[in-house]
Chain A
Amino acid sequence: MAYRPDPVRVYGHWLLAAAGLSLAAAAIGYGIPKVLPTFHLDPLALGLIYAVIALGLNIVNGQAGQFSIGHAAFAGIGAYTAGGLSTMVGPRLFGWGPGMPAQLDSPAAAVFFMASLLAGGLVAALFGYLVGIPTLRLRGDYLAIATLGFGEIMRVVLDNTASLGGPLGMHGIPRFTTYPVIGVALVLTLIVCRNIATSVPGRCFVALREDEIAAESLGIATTRVKVNAMALSAGVAGIGGGLLAHRLGSYMPVDLSWVRSVEFVLMVVLGGSGSITGTVIAAITLGMLPGEMLQLTKWPWLQKLIGNKMVVYSVLLIVMMLVRSLWFKGGWELSFQWMRDSAARLRRRLSRREGPANG
């Protein structure tokens, strides 16, 4: 009774998917800069990098339902690690300096950049592990406070570490994060998130979120799953942080504060906790908003509002939670299944209208 899927079909689809995704990465990386007017490029780049970080948060908050308000700290850890490698190790390896500015010109430099991003992700994931193991035993609201505390502790530690720049942070980070890099990173992150969600680990997250005790009784090692979710989440955020550092050229301890973490939480919540598509859209929107708004010099009150964007964000957060019944948890996804279902629904509705006439 063994049902064996046809290897040719499976591998064929896999290759097709790989080709399509590479195309998407190329489209983002090379298409967007060609098509979009220049003054949109910077805000959009920021939005896309935020999408990477927010997708990381979505894994632990949205999918696994473990509420963490410390993600800006994980991103920051990744940023400082990758940035540190670029500013301290890079110059020695490649001779970067005032005479020869840092460029992503050679394959070696590209590999170095990738390696430093990965290192950032790994260090962040390690912290995710270390933080997760004790705190994931705590109940929901206490877990949130504990992760917030961790974020603040990291911020204060970095604030007081002179060798990493102290309160002024790290500067002079080479701007390696160009659109092609963003394209690849975003597509890879989306693959990771989607594949996790549609396989056994993803199902364990959902079970964990729905009813932890029942999940445990069905063979799911809930604590291990939670910690893994936290570690993966932190790792993705760390890579995003590294990307951010190499886009802005600097990173400061204040970027690890809980207020920044709440921004990411807002992105996940706005997108409908658990939805990958929603998170990306929300992240891009929120990430682009300040930059875009600054272009509109027409209304000074709007400018002032953007300068105090947290006023708007906080109201948005409250309003979102109040209308949250409209967004169901982990619900809507842009997927082929949804498209097929919608087409079927549409067909049914059309045929029903003709039905009574045919009797």
Chain B
Amino acid sequence: MIFWLQQLTNGLSLGAIIALIALGYTMVYGVLKLINFAHGDILMVGAFVAIYAAMRAAHYGIPVWFPLIMPVSMAFCAALGVVIEFVAYRPLRSAPRLASLITAIGVSLFLESVGQWKLGAGRHAFPALLSDHRIEALAERYGFYVYVSDLVIFASTLLLLVALQAIVKFTRFGKAMRAVSQDPEAARLMGVDVNRVITGTFALGSALAGAGGVMWGMKFGAADPLMGMDPGLKAFVAAVVGGIGNVPGAMVGGFIMGVAETLVAACSIPIGRMWGSDLVIVGSNYRQALGFLILILVLLLRPSGLFGRHEPEKV
């Protein structure tokens, strides 16, 4: 029983991070109808910025604190996102969607290859931004391991999610964002500065990706130039499952993906014990392929996801 509770908490904390990243995908898609392929790589940049910032902070004697480092990553990633949008996506606004997708792939590859060039393909240790403590009371009495860092991650992610929902629902910018995702031309005619909305959306989404990168690094203790693929894929599937373009859907999708992955991994342990331990190792190898398989199945069976709307083409 405790075991499943443990898996559930692990899954929820993972799911929160995935939800954060999924939001970036879904917001950008809503506003630009573009799958920002480079989103996962912005996450990677956020993680490395955090590593670098932590190094510099330690150098200057500033305490390496989570609330200090994370905003740095988020700000840098927001700026990066704005630059990418301006250079690579804006000129192709009127081009067929495929052209923007190719460009997005180009940007993603660029970030990954430059990362590999400058940082080497190996993994870099991620600094400990939070303590290693766990809630001893629960650990001793129930064998239930809840780490403080996980709690902080979960709490800050929830905070960001709530903040984003607030922005989307209650601010003028959020309203403008929603207008542009429904009909950019009409929004323009209503006096909405579409370019600024798109820039702002990119900034927001990329900031969230940066935050996600920092938290991913904290959770798994390492970062490497290709780390963006895994969370990127999971978050994309989450966004599609929730209905791409739908903000609450992305959040729900993220949590579903996090919990599902943790539960599947957990289930494979007892199954692996039954069939011989090879299956567990094989399981993790096949995980990325599984992610794609799930994506393809969702696209084929229910492309509009849980909350999305199916838009048939007008003849």
Q: Which residues of A contact B (CB under 8 A)?
A: 67, 69, 134-135, 137-138, 140-142, 144-146, 148-150, 152-153, 155-157, 159-160, 213, 259, 262, 265, 269, 304, 308, 310-311, 313-315, 317-318, 321-322, 324
Contacts and interface: CB of A to CB of B under 8 A. Distances in A.
B284 to A, nearest CB: 11
A310 B282 contact: no
Contact of B110 (A144, A160, A265, A315): A315
- Which A-B residue pairs are the 10 nearest by beta carbons? A149-B292, A317-B106, A310-B113, A156-B289, A314-B110, A314-B109, A318-B106, A308-B117, A311-B113, A153-B289
B291 to A, nearest CB: 8
Contacts of A213: 313, 315
A145 B293 CA distance: 11
10 contacts: A137-B300, A141-B98, A142-B299, A144-B101, A152-B288, A156-B288, A311-B117, A317-B105, A322-B88, A322-B91
A315 B113 CA distance: 10
A159 B107 contact: no
B238 to A, nearest CB: 14
A314 B113 contact: yes
B109 A262 contact: yes
Interface in B93-132: 95-103, 105-110, 112-114, 116-117
Contacts of B296: 134-135, 146, 149-150
A47 B286 CA distance: 33
Contacts of B35: 141, 145
B174 interface: no
Contact of A152 (B110, B116, B289, B315): B289
B113 A308 contact: yes
Contact of A69 (B34, B92, B105, B293): B105
Contacts of B47: none
Max chain B C-beta neighbours (<10 A), residue from A155, A265, A315: A315
B299 A145 contact: yes
Contacts of B101: 67, 140-141, 144
A262 B34 CA distance: 18
A20 to B, nearest CB: 36
Interface residues of B, number: 40
Contact of B295 (A141, A149, A304, A311): A149
Contacts of B97: 140-141
A140 B105 contact: no
A322 B103 contact: yes
Say what secondary structure dominates the interface of chain A: helix
Contacts of B315: 213
B248 interface: no
A22 to B, nearest CB: 38
B303 interface: yes
B103 A318 contact: yes
A322 B292 contact: no
Nearest to B37: A145
A322 to B, nearest CB: 5
Contacts of A317: 102-103, 105-106, 109
B98 A142 contact: no
B118 to A, nearest CB: 9
Contacts of B107: 314, 318
A160 B282 contact: yes
A308 B102 CA distance: 20
A153 B292 contact: yes
A317 B296 CA distance: 26
Given A135-B296, A308-B117, A311-B114, A321 B289 contact: no
A324 B288 contact: no
Given A138-B303, A269-B102, A321-B99, 12 more contacts: A146-B296, A149-B293, A152-B292, A160-B282, A310-B112, A310-B113, A314-B107, A315-B110, A318-B106, A321-B103, A322-B88, A322-B92
B137 to A, nearest CB: 42
Contacts of A67: 98, 101
Contacts of A159: 285
Contact of B289 (A135, A137, A157): A157
B241 to A, nearest CB: 14
Contacts of A155: 289
B299 A318 contact: no
Contacts of A311: 110, 113-114, 117
Interface in B227-271: 236
A259 B99 CA distance: 17
A137 B110 CA distance: 30
B295 A134 contact: no
A152 B294 CA distance: 13
B105 to A, nearest CB: 6
A69 B106 CA distance: 12
A134 B289 contact: no
B80 to A, nearest CB: 15
Contacts of B105: 69, 262, 265, 317
Given A144-B98, A324-B99, A318 B303 contact: no
